[in-house]
Amino acid sequence: MSDIKWWKKGVFYQIYPRSYMDSDGDGIGDIAGITDRLNYIANLGIDGLWISPCFESPMKDFGYDVSDYRKIDPIFGTNEDFDVLLQKAHELGIKVIIDMVMSHTSDQHTWFKESRLGNDNRKADWYVWADPKPDGSPPNNWQAIFGGPAWTYDTKRCQYYMHSFLKEQPDLNFHNPDVQKQMLSECEYWLEMGVDGFRLDAVNHCFHDQELRDNPVKNKNDLSTGLQIDSVIPYSMQTHLYDKSRPEMIDLLQKIRALMDEYPDTMTLGEIGDDNPYMRTAEYTSGHDKLHTAYNIDFIAGSSETNLNINKIKLPFREVKKHPEYGWPSWAFTNHDSVRVVTRWGKNIKDKDAFAIMLNKLLLSLRGTPFLYQGDELGLPEATIPFEKIQDPWGKFLWPEWQGRDGCRTPMPWRSDAPHGRFARNVGEHYETWLPIPNEHYRHAVNLQEDNKNSVLNQTRQFIKWRKTQPLLQTGEIEFKEDAEDSLLVFDRYDDNNRMRCIFNITEKDVKYNDEIYAPLSASFIVL
């Protein structure tokens, strides 16, 4: 196993910095707060951290709108604070990857401020600019994911600029070689500091069609809902042929990989949202010269409360199998953009804690790198956020059909018996967290679970510890069995010499399989 890369064998833990631990009493989590909790993370058995954006930002999209790639935002601390975090994590044997938002910046970035001055300055074409149509309308029909056209008119430059997300997040023009060189330099800055890799946000959005051709309109029968909502939004009415996933991406990915190869044992995790995600991921992870792995969103998409069924788990693996060139996969059941899985898949489940334990064991048993999201180890349900407390710009746009992403971003409940769950150590009378902690989360607080050997926290810890002794669960192949009832998810993890059967009862009733009775919401492992 010594030749298997750490990121293939290990378990990752995603931290949303605003909501992990507040060290300075301003209601917002920070870098020093993460450092303070590294022992907790190490005791959980985590091998790698993915830290969501903490670069300087106006926070229109809470860090995914970067105004300085080389500076930690003051609300999170300083570059020195990050260096301390990095050093302590490494001392504890924990790798650290950070979110690199490559496809766009904040409109407050100095690059954009210079670019919008006119079409004759050094950075004039660092962003995607286009003239209006003769009637003054946008250059084409491209839509922004967060609502409205993907174009905003700039009165200073008298042109439209492209933004795949918020209008405050202008898209960089990667057709310009100088932009590519600059972004590779931004990555190199953090590699020199010692980070172990990057999660590349919306990486397939880096290139656009230079002819600005209209996206084809989807057939009405092919309309799908948006990523997180049940109603169709304009973005999902198009086939995204020209606004993203362009063929030029391959050359850029190879350049990124060449840089990463200069820093041994580093890795890249790509976020790829595409109309054909498995084909695109196979394209981006094939061979050894592009992404190391890609983050599959099939398990985290959707907001409605639905029941978990075995096909939800089997289908992505069937799709992966159709693409032999598909590289090593990565999986998560929840992240900072999704409804928490206990709520999303547990509509009719009464024992939510047992369900959470089973789900964590399932995630950690699938072939690929597992990513736990903060609070998964506690079995946190989705929080309901009052409209007046909503912070997410997407949530404000979609209200009341969906509250947005705030429900999974509420602060961690560390103690049940302290104000605001001791999200901050010492708080004044008027202290408030940036998002409210729902009352139901206090029942899941870390201090209550620490002393209960059957808690979600301790059961997850024990399983991660055991997984480290099981090479088959780390890097073995996977084969689903089709002879079980729909209540049981059964698959084998195997290599040339060994085989382990993994049996998950996803219901709250006893189920019989091969003359054995499997208890409700249980996970069983049998060496064959």
Under 8 Å between Cβ of 204 and 240:
no
Cβ–Cβ contacts within 10 Å for residue 215, how many?
A: 21
How far is Cα 159 from Cα 11, in angstroms, rounded to an integer?
A: 47
Q: Is the dihedral of CA 372, 375, 378, 382 positive or negative?
A: negative
How far is Cα 230 from Cα 344, in angstroms, rounded to an integer?
A: 13
How far is Cα 276 from Cα 138, in angstroms, rounded to an integer?
A: 27
Structure tokens at 144: 């922004």
Question: Catalytic one among 73, 201, 377, 392?
Answer: 201
Structure tokens at 469: 């002794």
Structure tokens at 14: 């995603």
Secondary structure (DSSP) of 419-471:
GGGGSBSS--TT---SSPPPHHHHTT-HHHHHT-TTSHHHHHHHHHHHHTT-H
Vertex 104 angle, CA 116 and 239, to 5°? 110
Residue 373: helix, strand or coil by DSSP?
Answer: strand
Structure tokens at 516: 């054995």
Q: Comparing C-alpha atoms, which of 478, 183, 196, 174 is closest to residue 326?
A: 478
Residue with token string 């993370």: 41
Query: Burial letters for 65-95: b for 16+ Cβ neighbours within 10 Å, e otherwise?
Result: bbbbbeebbebbbeeebbeebbebbeeeebb
How far is Cα 416 from Cα 367, in angstroms, rounded to an integer?
A: 36
Q: Is the dihedral of CA 146, 150, 156, 157 positive or negative?
A: positive
Q: Comparing C-alpha atoms, which of 95, 97, 99 is closest to residue 200?
A: 99
With a CB cutoff of 8 Å and minimum separation 6, the contacts of 109 are 66, 67, 68
CA dist list (Å): 525 to 28, 205, 212, 467, 492: 41, 41, 53, 11, 9
Question: Catalytic one among 135, 192, 262, 451?
Answer: 262
Catalytic annotation present for 201: yes
How far is Cα 411 from Cα 383, in angstroms, rounded to an integer?
A: 10
Residues marked active site are found at: 201, 262
